[in-house]
Chain A
Amino acid sequence: MRRTLSARSTTSSLLFALLFLALPTSAARRPRYGGMLTIDLQARVTSLDPAQKQGTVADQIVQEQLLRLIADRLVELGQLGQPKPALAISWQHNDKFTRWEFHLRPNVKFQDATPLTPQPVIDSLQAVNPTWRVSSANDSVIVESDSPLPELSCILAEAQNSILLREPTGEVIGTGPFRLTTWEPGHHAVFAANDDYWGGRPFVDGIDVQMGRTVRERMIDLDLGKADIADVAPDRARIDASRGVRISASDPTELVALIFSRSSTRAKDIRIRQALSLAIDRSSLVDFVLQKEGAPAGALLPQWSSGYEFLFSTAPDTAAARQITSQISPAHALRLGYDADDSMERMIAERIAVNAQAAGISISVRAIGIDSPGGAANHAANHAADVPEYDARIVRLSMCSPAPEVALGDFLQTLAQLADLDPSLTAPLNDPINPGQLHSRERAVVDTYEVIPLVHVPEVVGLSARVRDWIPARWGAWHVADIWLDGVAP
């Protein structure tokens, strides 16, 4: 849910100018330059290079958010998810979607004054998409693939396809609205406004990013005005809002799901997976665990993205689950794992255990990760016994794109690695595909009960009072360049 309004457009600027002339007393609402934007984050990003994958989904999301500060993509997505020009001002493709040609925006320079040419684009895209054939023709970049890439324009809008110069030192340089001035991996980063940004200089002079901040530290910093933006766990959003914190939540962009382990023998019977899916009260997860910041998930994609999620039932049916359970009488408790550092996953896992117990399924909840108490020991013990340390685990999958085809394709690609799904179900969505086909593919995946969608979760941030024009994309992408700070001397 968005609670702030966009304020950076020509029309609005004119409107502001008129209002400034007519209503001198409203001058405080006029965007102004200057000020240092401070961001507190729980995540610890160790590199801004998208080729360096982060440890957790949260870290990955923050890496993409920070990457958007320093780098641009060839294509951006509009509020409705439609592609719009960025570093590429236009593009065309052949009929089979196997060859795309992007015309680069002229007069764009990297932050080290290197002009944007096709070669850095080729290097950037080829680095993260090795199956593509990326080349140039004049000032254009050509992307070719053996398989059709109907959603390439949306894919190129993903953060991982940012256009970067990679220095031998590992430093990355982009064309974005900010340039990196200080970088302490996992702890601290300082960005300065890129005065030569092709889209216009950002309002704020710079951004100070503190990473690895605890919930308490983030809230204190927000209260004391030491932070302007801080990420907020969805399940705390209501509490923080009740304390007067400005909360901004995107549409649900993250899927929290339960995935059964490939090597688990205790959940090989589809009936126990089905019974567990029927037993889970997803609404309660949203109401109590997420404090209403989210939506019950019956499918992989959220309703706002796919438009058909309502066709997937999310209502619990404990009686039916119990009936199934009575037929199979599971002998062993299922071991449900969760990320030891994620309190929301823990709460969801514990709630599932309670729901399952009511349906006659015994579940033992355990933390996964060497940082968790006993995690390493459990891992070692289970490794020694050559058994998985869990039969199922909670996973969080972030939508890489608002486009359902892209997001589902990304989900399926991830699930192919995590779940025991038939390869045909996780095959790439190469051909142009309509919503009906997407629904069928999702239905086929969900009906295996190897993956049980639980909830869709938004990205939530807390804002200080001086932050103005915070207008993130509905799928959570920050537009920091549009932010200006109230009360800052020009």
Chain B
Amino acid sequence: MSFRLKMFVLFPLVVVAAVAIVSVGVTVFTRRAFERLDSSHTDAIVSQFQREFASQGQRIVRGIQDISGSEATLNMAIHLNARDIDPSAYGHDAVSVASDHHFAFLEFAGNDGSIISSMQWPARFGYKETWLLQRADWPAHGAFLQKVDTPDGPELGLIAVSVLPVAGSNLYTAGGERLDKSFLSSLSLPPGMRALLYVNLDANFSAQNLTAVDGPAPQADRFAPLVARELQQPGEITATVHWTPDAASDEVFHLLPLLGPDKNLLGVLFVGSSRHDLVLLERDIRRLALLVGGIALALGILLSWWAAVRVTRPVAKLVTGAQEVASGNWDARVAIHSRDEIGTLAGAFNQMTGQLAEQRERLIQTERVAAWRELARRLAHELKNPLFPLQITVENLRRAREQHAADFDEIFRESTDTLLAEIQNLKTIVGRFSDFAKMPRPELHALDVNEMVRGVTRLFEPRFIAPGEPKITTELHLDEKLPLIQADSVLLHRAIGNLVLNAIDAMPNGGTLALRTVAHDSGVRLEISDTGAGLTREECERLFTPYYTTKLHGTGLGLAIVQSVVSDHGGRISVSSEPGHGTTFRIDLLERPPNVTSIDSVSVKSKKPAEPVLERKV
């Protein structure tokens, strides 16, 4: 992925990530704010319910005490203690008294708990309310929740009991208010909240016992598990009811258990808070985030494209400049004039390439001088050897003419032979240099490298076994699946022959010469190894330098010629050596050399010789 593409992708990603983080943060913050608000509302309603509960309880206690302390009730108690007891006369009293005091429930019961008059269920007269006898401290008990039997079934009441003792007998007055939807209506609920009351009067959950302010609660069966939890362990709990798969219908309920005097669960107050507004707000935030994210993404794409282009354009110029430098154009320069880091970098690049060009020029000049010096030295060395005999021979001739005239002819003949020999030697030296200067271009043919290797080996075979010569053993490891390659057989034969000669020279005491061919993806590999003394790293690095030789009488042109041949075939040559363990030359040749036309090609382009690859075993 390019730097421009990276920047192009990175900017929108950053924008989207930022929007996403902000939207998530806002959503979380909003949700927590809603939850805090819900919690505070719920607490307020529960507190309001408890205050209302306590207030109603106080009113009921006062009312019951008033009834119990009234003259009429006292007369009733006195009458009931009389000998001629006729409680039926009071059978309707509870109805009228309860009506006067606005009580939904009221009962008068005798000393044994028998109902004298019942407002809520007049037909139960004479039956006993045994629960009235279970406590003696009713006045201190205040108002409490109590299951009240009525003709329509049990109901939940907020009840108070007052006891009127007369002549050793008690007259119980028990009454209060119905705890139902009308009680719920006394609660002021904020929008989105509601209160439900479950009256736990049946053995099992009954949907009819769950009421809202405006009547029976719909889908009351959904509350059964919550009531079951309260029945199992009464306590304040909070639960969420999912009415539909839509989260907007969710409702969070806070459950407040309503316990009787014996801590038995008689009812449950549900304070519900709709999640509708929260979910809608979250959806709005999400939609807004998507909208903003989309717009930001579009803008980000445009801006990032512009920025990427703007930022990466000088970088691309730098890259182009670097590539030109890498391809050898040392004069490459980057035209960037900004004052930022990129401009500084471009300036540094231009300065660096300028310095590199100067250094290269100096290096070339230095190398050129060095080469000329080396050439001069080599020429001087090569020429000095024949010249010295020439000089001696000429001086011998002069001296023989002057001092040994008689022998002059003999000496002259011998000296001219020597002169001719040395001149021939000079011609040979000059010819070698001439040959190196005039390396021909390769003429490519289909070549079987294995066959060529065998031919070179056969050429040197007599020398390997010649008497007086060091004993050299030849090993051929040829890959029979080696493909034919396009190569100049003469040049390649000459190069391999040079390498074989070098190997022979490297093994003055004999050894093993191994030639190995291996096919690879793009061509063939040829390895020529000897078991000679090996080369040092410095020797390896300079091995392919023209006129450099490690041999006493070498011209230093052999390996240079080999490198030139391999390079002209688009291949490459490397050497690996380890002192004491021999040397291996490795030639990689392409099956079809690039930019090197075959003999049928219209033109053949010269290719700059490849730099040799040096390997050195440690």
Q: Which residues does A use to contact B, with CB under 8 Å?
A: 238-239, 281, 284, 287-289, 291-292, 347, 350-351, 353-354, 358, 365
Contacts and interface: CB of A to CB of B under 8 A. Distances in A.
Contacts of B88: 287-288, 291-292
B62 to A, nearest CB: 28
B168 interface: no
Interface in B85-99: 86, 88-89, 91-92
- Nearest 8 pairs of A and B residues by beta carbon: A350-B123, A287-B88, A351-B123, A288-B91, A288-B125, A288-B88, A354-B123, A350-B151
A353 B152 CA distance: 11
25 contacts: A238-B89, A281-B126, A284-B125, A287-B88, A287-B91, A288-B88, A288-B91, A288-B122, A288-B125, A291-B88, A291-B89, A291-B91, A291-B92, A292-B88, A347-B122, A347-B123, A350-B122, A350-B123, A350-B151, A351-B125, A353-B123, A354-B121, A354-B123, A354-B127, A365-B151
Given A347-B122, A353-B123, 9 more contacts: A284-B125, A284-B126, A287-B88, A288-B126, A292-B88, A351-B125, A353-B151, A354-B124, A354-B127
Nearest to B125: A288
Chain B's interface size range is 10 to 19
Contacts of A291: 88-89, 91-92
Interface string B413-449: 0000000000000000000000000000000000000
A281 B126 CA distance: 10
A1 B238 CA distance: 67
Nearest to B126: A284
Interface in B102-147: 121-127
A446 to B, nearest CB: 24
Contacts, number: 36
A288 B91 CA distance: 6
B147 to A, nearest CB: 15
Interface in B506-523: none
Q: In this complex, which of B88, B123, B126, B151 has the most chain A Cβ atoms within 10 angstroms of its Cβ?
A: B123
A interface secondary structure, majority: helix
Contacts of A351: 123, 125
B interface secondary structure, majority: loop
Nearest to B116: A288
B127 A358 contact: yes
Interface of B: 86, 88-89, 91-92, 121-127, 151
Contacts of A289: 91, 123
A459 to B, nearest CB: 21
A239 B121 CA distance: 19
Contacts of B91: 287-289, 291
Contacts of B126: 281, 284, 288
Contacts of A350: 121-123, 151
Contacts of A354: 121, 123-124, 127
A374 to B, nearest CB: 12
Contacts of B125: 284, 288, 351
Contacts of A347: 122-123
Nearest to A348: B123
Contacts of B122: 288, 347, 350
A353 B91 CA distance: 17
A32 B126 CA distance: 49
A284 B127 CA distance: 11
Nearest to A350: B123
Nearest to A291: B88
Q: In this complex, which of A288, A292, A353 has the most chain B Cβ atoms within 10 angstroms of its Cβ?
A: A288
A56 B500 CA distance: 143
A19 to B, nearest CB: 38
A335 to B, nearest CB: 14
A239 B127 contact: no
A121 to B, nearest CB: 48
Contacts of A288: 88, 91, 122, 125-126
B302 to A, nearest CB: 71
Contacts of A239: 92
A399 B127 CA distance: 33
Contacts of B86: 287
A239 B95 CA distance: 13
Nearest to A235: B92
A239 B90 CA distance: 10
A351 B151 CA distance: 9
B93 to A, nearest CB: 10
B92 to A, nearest CB: 7
A289 B125 CA distance: 10
A285 to B, nearest CB: 9
